[in-house]
Structure formats: structure tokens, C-alpha cells
Structure 1
């Protein structure tokens, strides 16, 4: 009969027991040198390169580029019929447009071409001409409406005022720079067509406040307003083109004088057809 106490097992050899494993001591483990490869490989080819910068497509999506520089855009004369070719000339900030409008109101500086030579825009000229059309039509309509009401006469809206203003401003800001572009090219003093369109477009801004002041029913006052606006606009264009046209030779003065007089003629036309409203 087994007692309640456990008996100790002697450290003796018992049949069926596993012999103890001898201590082998310190074992040194050596690893062969491994050639780790970075991912992605530096010589990887394909759309995504091993550089740290973003893909080129993401970088150049909204960047301003030269016309025809993109392979997807048509080159040569076909570029003029592509809408994508004109996208860089409408990529301007509000601060840029306001700064250029401010320069047009200070014509004696003559630094407009220098500031816009690297990035001329068509956004400002387009909206300046469009604003001129609606201002001329609305003010002309308002003044004639008041005149007829004061005389108790029947008043009819003249739609020709809008079409005439659109033809005048859009036509002037397009045909005159295009003609000047051809003339300067003939005299071996070529200038960029977009630069000329930009210059002439901003030169018309001064006529917007002039048209607003034409509401005053004094003919002499309207002549003064039209004359001052025409002189400022003509001086702005002439001074900004003078330095460039001097390279055309001895006839540079005649070209600048013709530019100045043509801009004054525009002011006279505006006075006769838009500023002359009897109240």
C-alpha cells in the first residue's frame, strides 16, 4: 500500500530514460552577405520613373506653355484653328488683369510691353471689349429713354446699338493689330501678334469710364471726356510701341504718328455715334 507521501526519484539510471544532451558551448552563426535591392529599381523604365518628383502629366497639366510646344497640339498654321493653342493666353489671375488695367490708366509710363512680353493675355482684352459693348448699349439706351420720357414721346429700343458697338470694338481690336503686325513685319521690325492684341485690348479700358460720364447732358463736356480718353489711349499705345518701332528705320516716326492718330480717330467716332445723345 502506497503512503500519502511522494517518494523522490534518485538520480540513477532507469531503464527507458533519455540521456542528457551535452552542452555544446557557444556556437557562432555566420550569415553570407546579401545584396539588398531597393524598390522600385533606379533603372526602371516606363511612365513612372525612379525619381522623387510627381509624374510629368500631373506637373504640366495647368502649366503655361508656348503655343505649339505640346506634341498633341497642331503646329504651324493649323495651331491657329485649335482651341488648345489659345489656352495659355487666358491663364491669368485677377491681380494680373487689374495690374495691367492700372498701367493702361497711366499711359506715360510706357512699360506695359516690358511687363507683358513674357505672358501676354487675351482674357483682359476680351472682357474689356465685351464690357464696352454692353456699357455703350445700356447707357445709350438709358439716355435716349430719358430723353423720350421728358418729351413725352414714344420710345423704341434700338437693337442696332448693340450690333454696331460689337462690330466697332471687336473689329477695331482685331483688325488694327493685325494690320500693324503685317506692317511691322514688312519693315523688318516684327512684333508678336498676341502682344499687339493684348496692348490694343487694354488701351480701350479708358473708354469705359468715359462712356459712363457721357450721361451728363452737356455737349462740350462730352467732347472733353472723349478727347481726354482718346489722348490717354493713343499715348498708351504709341509710347509702348515707340521703342520697338524705332528699329524699323527712319520711318519709325511716321508709323508711331499714324498709330496715335488712328487711336484719336476712334475717340472721335465714339463721340459722334455714342456720346452725342440729346436729353
Structure 2
């Protein structure tokens, strides 16, 4: 049989009888694999485009957190030069209002002695900075007001003393900076080192009690002012001493002397605050 076009001719003699079919060796079989095409958009993109149940990947906080192993635009500084960069101090200001309020409440209950444990993983400098700044202006303004009232009651001339603000700033900023630094060196010498930021945080929050004490000093009674200053100094000194006692015990037999020195130094701050800012001389 002849075929028209592309059909080949078949020889009837060769196909007669029962002969098993033999595949043409020149014939190549083509196997079509399963299609790998995917619907657009892919299933992983659900949530970005198709509005699936999963949230989009770009809705996380990848812009606020560094990618592990990734390269940042500004490589971090290494060595002691890193202390002059803003990034070095950023973790110590990573607190919110609730954290600061909780730490302030903890400082007003000095007998617990658990402040250092609660802030060990995240000591901050935000609270101490604003506590010292607030205390400077409150103490200077209250002291000025008390002196003004005393002069007016005795009908004396009164002149504003600008040195009260500068003196208060030097007192509180210097105290909350130099005392922790000296204590850091002492503890390191006695093989009981503590973090400098933890000490700054502890001493900064210990000064909060002097803010309400300064406000109560407007009462024109010298004995009452001494009681307020003494009570505030005792609470602040107890707060610092008890929180450092558990750590300083590892310094050896002299731990008691160190704790007593810390306690008396904090009381001395209250006495200086009373004598200079809340003692009225006309």
C-alpha cells in the first residue's frame, strides 16, 4: 500500500503471519516529564500579593534588627575607639517607660536588694541621666524658693544665686559618675569585678529618692528638713549597700568594710545636700 505525502509503504510479505513487533532502533522515545511550571504568583508569595493567610515576609522587623551574618553599611568600630561612637551606647538606652518606672519603684523599696539581679541583663543609662538632670533643677529651684521665702518673711533683700544650678550639676553628675568608677576599680582590685554600666545604673536610680525629699524641704521647719534629708539618705544608702552586698561578699574578709563605706558615703551625700541647698541663711 502506497501512501500519499509522508506515509511510507508497507511490505505485506514482511508483515504476514504472527511476527512480534520489534522497535525500530533508530526511533528515539521521548518521555515528557511532569511540568515544573508553577502558578503565578508562587505559593511562597502568598500574603505579599495574593493576600493569603500568612503575613508577608517584609512585614517583620528586619529593618530594626541586624541580619545574622549579614554585612551592614557601617561596620562596627573595634577596640577602645568604639567608646566614642553612638552605637556603643545605644543598647544602654534601649528601655521603655514601663522599665524605668519599675526600676524607680524598686529603688523606693530598698530592703529587697534585688535591683541588680533584675537589671543584670539590661542595665540602662537613660533613667540615671534623667533622674540626675531632674534632681539638679528640682534641688536648685526648691533651694532658691526656700531662700526667697525666708528673706521675704524677714523683709530682707534677696538676690538670685545662679551658682546653685552649677553647684548642683557638679555635685550630682560628679557623684553618679566618679563614685561608680572608683568602686569599679576597688572591686576589680579585690577580685570581685562588676560591670561599670551596672554600677552607674544602680547609683543613678538610688538618687531618685532625693527628688521627693527636695520637694518636701519647702516646709519651713529646720527639724523637719533634717528628718526628710536623713530618711532619704538612709533609704538611698540602704538601697545601694544591700544590692552590692551579695556581690562584694566574694571580695573576701574586707567586704564588710566596703559595704559600710558605700553606706556612709551615700549618707554623706544627703548631709551635703541638706547643708548647702536646704539650710536657709538670711
> Given the superposition, is the C-alpha separation of residues 54 and 182 from structure 1 closer, same or farther in structure 2, using an over 3 Å criterion?
farther
Selected match of 1:264 from 257, 260, 267: 267
Selected match of 1:152 from 135, 152, 155: 155
Cα distance between partner residues in 1 of 2:63 and 2:263: 41
User: How far did 1:152 drift?
Assistant: 2.4
Instruction: Compute the RMSD of aligned alpha carbons.
Output: 2.7
- Equivalent residue number for residue 34 of structure 2: 33
Cα distance between partner residues in 2 of 1:149 and 1:86: 47
> What does residue range 52-91 of structure 1 map to in structure 2 within 5 Å?
54=57, 58-59=61-62, 61=64, 72-91=75-94
> Given the superposition, is the C-alpha separation of residues 53 and 120 from structure 1 closer, same or farther in structure 2, using an over 3 Å criterion?
farther
- Please say if residues 137 and 161 of structure 1, whose CA atoms lie closer than 8 Å, have aligned partners that are also in contact: yes
User: How far did 1:187 drift?
Assistant: 1.0
Structure 2: 5+ residue runs without aligned partners? 1-30, 45-54, 67-72
Does 1:215 pair with 2:209? no
- Please say if residues 206 and 229 of structure 1, whose CA atoms lie closer than 8 Å, have aligned partners that are also in contact: yes
> What does residue range 93-172 of structure 1 map to in structure 2 within 5 Å?
93-172=96-175
TM-score of the superposed pair, with normalisation by structure 1: 0.77
Selected match of 1:273 from 267, 273, 276: 276
Q: How many residues align?
A: 236
User: How far did 1:72 drift?
Assistant: 2.2
Does 1:189 pair with 2:192? yes
Structure 1: 5+ residue runs without aligned partners? 1-29, 43-51, 64-69
- Equivalent residue number for residue 200 of structure 1: 203
User: How far did 1:36 drift?
Assistant: 3.9
Cα distance between partner residues in 2 of 1:62 and 1:34: 40
> Given the superposition, is the C-alpha separation of residues 193 and 121 from structure 1 closer, same or farther in structure 2, using an over 3 Å criterion?
same
User: How far did 1:32 drift?
Assistant: 4.5
- Please say if residues 177 and 197 of structure 1, whose CA atoms lie closer than 8 Å, have aligned partners that are also in contact: yes
User: How far did 1:267 drift?
Assistant: 0.8
- Please say if residues 136 and 168 of structure 2, whose CA atoms lie closer than 8 Å, have aligned partners that are also in contact: yes
Does 1:246 pair with 2:246? no
- Please say if residues 217 and 278 of structure 1, whose CA atoms lie closer than 8 Å, have aligned partners that are also in contact: no
Cα distance between partner residues in 1 of 2:179 and 2:57: 45
User: How far did 1:35 drift?
Assistant: 3.4
